[in-house]
Amino acid sequence: MIDYTHMQKSGPKLKAMLTRANNKPDAKERYAAVKDTCRAAVKEWDAIGAWPDNWALWQRTLKDAAYAYMRTGGEVDHRLYRLEEL
């Protein structure tokens, strides 16, 4: 059963966490922070029983952060491009 009340409370907090992680200036720090935030969000969504309608925003942010980090010469585990894999 989906816990809509929990989703309404945690949704804005998780989105704010994603925004803060994505605003980090260093690509390595940004990728690590975005990945950790996405991992926490997926865990939260699974506990709630549903993913939000804007889950694709999280997917795009994760990929963008990974690509930015790779452009600086960083190594990224390609299996971690998908939220389901976190």
For 18-33, the pLDDT digits (tens) are 999 999 999 999 999 9
pLDDT of residue 76: 87
Helix (H, G, I), strand (E, B) or coil at 41: helix
Query: And the tokens for 39?
Result: 């991992």
pLDDT-derived band of residue 40, with 50, 70 and 90 as boundaries?
A: very high
The whole-number pLDDT of residue 34 equals 97
Query: How many other CB atoms are there within 10 angstroms of residue 33's CB atom?
Result: 19
Q: What is the structure's pLDDT at 81?
A: 77
Q: How many CB atoms lie within 10 A of CB 84?
A: 7
**φ and ψ at 66, to 5 degrees?**
-65, -45
By C-alpha distance, which of 65, 11, 13 is closest to 34? 65
Q: Over the stretch 53-78, which tens digit does the pLDDT of each residue have? A: 999 999 999 999 999 999 999 998 87
